[in-house]
Structure 1
Amino acid sequence: MAEIISWFDLVAIQEIADSLIHLRLLLSHLPASYRVILSDIGGNDERAGFLYDSDKLTRLELAAEVAVPPSDRRYIRLKGVSGAFEGFDRNPYAVAFRAGALEFTAVCAHLFFGSHAYYDQERRALEAYALARWADQRHKAAGAYSQNILVLGDLNLPIRGNSSSVYRALKAKRLILPQHSTSMGSNLAGDRDYDQVAFHAGGMQEAYGGHSGVFDFDHDPFFTDAWTIGADYFNNAVKYHIADHRPLWAEFEI
């Protein structure tokens, strides 16, 4: 994990445990310039956070959880989606950074999953819309800390297409989800587009280099032999000890 993370300047991480023993162990294997910032626990006792190379990025003043005031929850509505938005299960975590001349607010999100039941899918879609609406409001607000909003993480998007209510919710407020330059999904089965990088037109779109994709860490170059032995061996050796999602990467020019 440390080897893969060290290839990137800013890494959004979800499902950080309440105990930080293993996160600190991971950090000890990274170059000395890497720093961590994280939230407190939310749903499922999970934290969200960022690992970043302080030689490449400067953390700015803003660090906050994204929440929707109760008075605004009535605006979180989607055509064809029933139910009421009652808040995030895990509040997305927003931190401002500067990289070169680019200042932006990065949002680490792990949207609700629950199950494949329709009511959980609708709750997930409402969370997606609430996040997209918040990002759009910050993008347009003259007094926003930064109008450059970068949304990263496990958005539990089953498929990038209008057949998905989660996809429609994210796109409803003009979030751009760039097409990946790889064809596989970010889950280990390769058939789901759970993880995404999204942003609005403006500074983030101008900086986006047009290259993003899913990094196939579990086949090549690290664990080819584990797959060769068999899926059960791979799951015991990798899936339950490293990750059950593949990292998603995107390149921005600063």
Structure 2
Amino acid sequence: MWYNDLRPDSELLNDRYSLIMLDEADHYKRMLDDPAKKRTLSNLLRLRQGLLANVPKKTVDNNLLLCSWNIKNFGTLKDRTAESLYYIAEIINAFDIVAVQEINRDLSDFKKVLRLLGSHWKYTLSDVTEGNAGNDERFGFIYDSRRVTHSGLSGEIVIAPELAADNAIIRQLKRTPTFTGFESGWRKFSIVSVHLHPGEGDANETLRKEEVRLLMEVLDKKISSAAFINRNMIILGDTNLYKDDSAIVELITDHDFIESEALVGRFTNTSLSQIYDRLFLNVNDYFKIAKDDLGNEQGGVFNLFDYVYINTTAEIANYHLLMTSHKDDPSNLTDDASFKSYFNRYWKRNQMSDHLPVWLELQTESSDEFLSSKFRNL
């Protein structure tokens, strides 16, 4: 991570040229004053401890940490602070590959996060899905090139006309999924990142179900294709699958995908009320999810708000001035209770996200199993 912007001015000397957090709209004024730097440093230390306690360490030639995160309107929300970008980058830095949904057309914040991460972090981006339904969104993967490489496979999932029904309610997914290949050691795999149609109720569920049906028809053909080399496939992202969407989940699992046990039933939105973000795998016997000493799959949901933007009166008070300046009409922010309500319902979600990162640890060392299998087959 690149923490140069958090240093005292007296330490910068000839390093001023390397600052990242500069306000282009205000003559490149520094975006972090000394109180903000001190607060960010303190919270980063707490966040790093939280990541260390909840996410496995990266180990050479042994594991791969995969994460999926819907970062709310990443590029559209103009009041997102430099402080928040540091927290976003720190969370990404704990993993090896992070699939990001809701990256918008404006990539200014995205590029700042990449610079904070360092030059060994690479990325792929899809184009934005045009039209109102696409919501000006694109998909991205950010990955640590020291531990994983892009295989060269990259594209978008387009539905062939003949797959849609005669009186189809949709003919393409409203936000075009991406299809990207990666390699780690001798493992090759592909990841499909999705952001499905949201909303409860029969109409929304019917539309989302048709999106999944069309998607699985396309992926089934890809997996069975003799020309397709990355048959280890992972579907992840903001699936917008609600607690009652078991019939839609079955459309995925009926195509030999399994949902990660570590994430089944885990709430992934900030309100901890829905299971929006899911992760499904269709992989061979040597592509394994890592397990702990008790045999449980290693994965989970990282609740970042346990470590930054904590829901306490003292913590919220640190952001009163920012909330007042960001709110269109701050006249009703008159006491601690009103600040607390606005902080939890809107402001902290606009700083970070209304979704929490979901993650999975993959085992990349299985040479013993591979060699034993070949020995038995001879």
Identify the match of residue 359 of structure 2 among 203, 228, 249.
Answer: 249
Per-residue deviation, residues 42-62 of structure 1 (Å, max 9, x unmatched): 111100110001111111121
Structure 1: which amino acid aligns with 2:173? F
The equivalent residue for 2:223 is 139
Aligned to 2:259, what secondary structure does the other structure show? coil
Contact 2:189 2:231 in 1 (8 A): yes
Identify the match of residue 164 of structure 1 among 219, 222, 246.
Answer: 246
Stretch moving more, 24-33 or 129-138: 129-138
Structure 2 unaligned blocks of 5 or more = 1-87, 291-296, 317-339, 365-378
Contact 1:133 1:173 in 2 (8 A): no
- Alignment CA distance shift 1:226-1:12 (3 Å): farther
The equivalent residue for 1:174 is 256
- Alignment CA distance shift 1:211-1:133 (3 Å): farther
Per-residue deviation, residues 179-229 of structure 1 (Å, max 9, x unmatched): 2268640011112111011111415x73222212111111x2223245875
The equivalent residue for 2:11 is none
Contact 1:35 1:53 in 2 (8 A): yes
More helix by share: 2
The equivalent residue for 2:281 is 199
Aligned to 2:218, what secondary structure does the other structure show? helix
Structure 2: which amino acid aligns with 1:99? S
Contact 2:200 2:242 in 1 (8 A): no
Bigger-Rg structure (1/2): 2
TM-score (norm 1): 0.87
Stretch moving more, 239-248 or 125-134: 125-134
Q: CA deviation at 1:140?
A: 2.5
- Alignment CA distance shift 1:183-1:146 (3 Å): closer
The equivalent residue for 2:197 is 112
Contact 1:95 1:105 in 2 (8 A): yes
Distance across 1 between alignment mates of 2:208 and 2:264: 25
Distance across 2 between alignment mates of 1:231 and 1:154: 26
The equivalent residue for 2:236 is 152
- Residue 339 of structure 2 is aligned to residue 234 of structure 1: no
Structure 1 unaligned blocks of 5 or more = 76-81
Aligned to 2:206, what secondary structure does the other structure show? helix
> Which protein, 1 or 2, shows the higher relative CO under an 8 Å CA cutoff with sep ≥ 6?
2
The equivalent residue for 1:215 is 302
Distance across 2 between alignment mates of 1:237 and 1:189: 14
- Residue 214 of structure 2 is aligned to residue 125 of structure 1: no
Aligned to 1:180, what secondary structure does the other structure show? helix
CA RMSD of aligned residues (A): 2.3
Contact 1:58 1:99 in 2 (8 A): yes
Q: CA deviation at 1:231?
A: 4.1
Distance across 2 between alignment mates of 1:194 and 1:236: 19
- Alignment CA distance shift 1:201-1:104 (3 Å): closer
Identify the match of residue 175 of structure 2 among 83, 87, 90.
Answer: 90
Distance across 2 between alignment mates of 1:88 and 1:181: 25
- Residue 174 of structure 2 is aligned to residue 64 of structure 1: no
The equivalent residue for 1:19 is 106
Distance across 2 between alignment mates of 1:196 and 1:212: 12
Distance across 2 between alignment mates of 1:149 and 1:185: 24
Aligned to 2:151, what secondary structure does the other structure show? strand
Q: CA deviation at 1:13?
A: 0.4
Contact 1:182 1:214 in 2 (8 A): no
Contact 1:157 1:193 in 2 (8 A): yes
Contact 2:233 2:283 in 1 (8 A): no
Structure 1: which amino acid aligns with 2:146? D
Distance across 1 between alignment mates of 2:308 and 2:265: 20
